Amino acid sequence: MLPAPFEYHAPHTTEETLELLDQLGDEGKVLAGGQSLIPLLKLRFASPAHLVDVNRVPGLDVIEERDGVLRIGALFRHKAAERSTMLASRYPVIAEAAGQVADPIVRNRGTVGGSLAHADPAGDWGSVMLALDAEFVLQSKSGRRSVKARDFFSGPFSTALQPNELLTEIRIPAAQGRTGGAYLKLERKVGDFATVAVAVHLQMDDGKVRSAGIGLTAVGAQNLKAEQAEAALRGRGRTEGRPARIRGVQAQCGPSLYPTRAQTRPRARQGRCMKMGRPITVTVNGEKTSAEVEPRLLLVHFIRERLRLTGTHIGCDTTHCGACTVLFDGVPVKSCTMLAVQADGRQLTTVEALHAGGALHPIQAAFKEEHGLQCGFCTPGMMMSSFALLAENPDPTEEEIRWALSGNICRCTGYMNIVKAVRAAAVQMKEAAAVPAGAATGS
């Protein structure tokens, strides 16, 4: 799975972006987190002539609550939403949903705005925004407009967004009074799209529901707002025991209209020539390296084929297996779902850096000691995710480890010994940190 050729643009301001989108029209496609778009490019289900990468536009990833409005920048990443204590306390539906989008590595890269613009009817954010009564700011060269979430989605993968528009911001009426919320998602595994999910945002007044927002995932051709159910809840008190059944929800949804994800048949027949190389400079494992790369070159191929660092592997091509996990500015990403050009000016860390000093890193040693690997193919990615986990949480529980590694698939070990290895490495690293540098270790 390799993308067709395209031209790549990396604007540095919103204005520049809008100018480009205006010029490119139908030929242009905005690249945000890329966690859905790049797999689609690789499958050649999508082959835009131009990609406009907005990751270098400053200010698009902000979040702030001001003047009665919660504003979320379109580049705000799932992981940031998952970690925000403000969101957890004031908008629990957002925080809860954030932790259930895709898998932990994809969440590092994927964005709320990108996900909304992609408009997968089984996607999570649409329901959340419907529950929150959000509106989306769509900007173009000729101006800006605001579209309510309920008017934004118009079918599977289809929205009100025009080709020359950029979704810049999500505006949510600020929570007032007591608020509560939840995102319940029924999925078969981490990384699966919802079998069904529901987003609920409640604002209470005096023990009564002042306003209720309910969004439904994967029950129709698009995310749905359960308006009858919302109305039915309004003004109700908290019921004791089992919650009263809200009629109307089922009637409103009807049978699932969600299309199967079958392969599409005909492919575009146009031949497009390779594009000129772009110069990039990347710091890989501490060493600065410059190269010229075609825009469509995947980061993983840059690492494996250009730098001949073959410890990073390719397993699934669609962001599921994590065999290609590397650290991008210290954060785990799936390098088969990023472009090499995106790494320009950034820091990459691959498995080869773990034992940079010659000695094994405690994680490497623990994987061997605890028999945390068999065929070894997933191991580098698994260790990179473990490395990032322990950097953030030096003393994780078994549950936390299982959660953090759920973006990496292993087919050999059944995960038991991988979890053990990460625990063992944590203990080892803690002990090593407790010994003052230069302290004598002899008897």
| DSSP code, position 25 | G
CB of 217 to other proteins, least distance (A): 14
Q: Is residue 174 a contact residue for other proteins (CB under 8 A)?
A: no
Burial 204-238 (b: 16+ CB within 10 A, else e): beeeebebbbbbbbbbbbbbbbbeebbebbeeeee
Show the tokens assigned to 132.
């929150």
Please identify, among the stretches 147-155, 202-210, 246-254, 345-353, the one whose residues bind other proteins according to the rule CB under 8 A: 345-353
Instruction: Tell me which of 164, 179, 222, 408 binds other proteins, using CB under 8 A.
Output: 408
Residue 343 to residue 248: CA distance in whole angstroms: 49
Residues 81-120, one symbol each (x = binds other proteins by CB under 8 A, - = not), give ----------------------x-----------------
CB of 23 to other proteins, least distance (A): 25
Q: Is residue 311 a contact residue for other proteins (CB under 8 A)?
A: yes
CB of 397 to other proteins, least distance (A): 13
Q: Which is nearer to other proteins, 175 or 323 (CB)?
A: 323
CB of 244 to other proteins, least distance (A): 14
CB of 12 to other proteins, least distance (A): 28
C-beta separation of 130 from 199 below 8 A: yes
Q: Which is nearer to other proteins, 150 or 402 (CB)?
A: 402
C-beta separation of 321 from 409 below 8 A: yes
Element (H, E) at 81: helix 78-83
Q: Is residue 274 a contact residue for other proteins (CB under 8 A)?
A: yes
Q: How many CB atoms lie within 10 A of CB 391?
A: 12
CB of 293 to other proteins, least distance (A): 11
Residue 150 to residue 130: CA distance in whole angstroms: 6
Which of the residues 31 through 60 are near other proteins (CB under 8 A)? 43-44
Q: Is residue 417 a contact residue for other proteins (CB under 8 A)?
A: yes
Q: What share of the chain is helix, strand, coil (3-state, %, to 5)?
A: 35, 25, 45
Where do we find the tokens 């087919």? 411
CA-nearest of 390, 385, 381, 388 to 323 is 381
Instruction: Tell me which of 141, 412, 427, 428 binds other proteins, using CB under 8 A.
Output: 412
The count of chain residues that interact with other proteins, using the rule CB under 8 A, is 88
Which of the residues 365 through 384 are near other proteins (CB under 8 A)? 365, 367-369, 371, 373-380, 383
Please identify, among the stretches 169-177, 184-192, 204-212, 227-235, the one whose residues bind other proteins according to the rule CB under 8 A: 184-192
Instruction: Tell me which of 402, 423, 427, 428 binds other proteins, using CB under 8 A.
Output: 402
Which of the residues 244 through 263 are near other proteins (CB under 8 A)? 260-263
158: β partners: 155
Residue 99 to residue 124: CA distance in whole angstroms: 10
Q: How many CB atoms lie within 10 A of CB 160?
A: 16
Q: Which is nearer to other proteins, 354 or 390 (CB)?
A: 354
C-beta separation of 77 from 107 below 8 A: yes
Q: Is residue 312 a contact residue for other proteins (CB under 8 A)?
A: yes
